[in-house]
Amino acid sequence: MPSLNLGNQQPRTPLNADQAWRTTAGRAAGTVLFFDFDGTLAPVDDDPTAVRPAPAALAAIEALAPVVQRVAIVSARPVEFLRDHLGGLAGVDLYGLYGLEHSHSGGETVTEPAALPWVPTMKELADLARAELPPGALVEYKRLSVALHWRTAPQLGPSVQQWGQAQADRLGLRVQAGRMVLELKPPVDRDKGMVIGEVIRDASGAWYFGDDVSDIKAFAALRARAAADPGFFGVCVAVANPETGHEVANAADLTIESPAALGDFLTQALTHLP
Same domain, 130 and 262: no
Q: What is the pLDDT of residue 15?
A: 52
pTM for the full predicted model? 0.89
pLDDT above 70: residue 225: yes
Same domain, 255 and 131: no
Which is the catalytic residue, given 18, 36, 47, 191? 36
Final residue before a domain boundary, out of 130, 154, 185 = 185
Q: Is residue 203 part of a domain?
A: yes
Q: What is the pLDDT of residue 14?
A: 46
Burial of 177 (0-12, 13-18, 19+ CB in 10 A): middle
Q: Is residue 4 part of a domain?
A: no
Averaged pLDDT for residues 178-205 = 95
pLDDT above 50: residue 121: yes
Q: Is residue 6 part of a domain?
A: no
Distances (CA, A) of 172 to 98, 164, 250: 18, 12, 32
Domain count, the chain: 2
Q: Is residue 66 part of a domain?
A: yes
Same domain, 175 and 77: no
Percent of the chain with pLDDT over 70: 94
Active site residue 36: yes
In contact, 206 and 222? CB cutoff 8 Å: yes
In contact, 84 and 75? CB cutoff 8 Å: no
**Between 105 and 114, the higher pLDDT residue:** 114
The predicted-structure confidence for 14-66, as pLDDT tens digits, reads as follows: 458 888 998 999 999 999 999 999 999 999 888 888 899 999 999 999 999 99
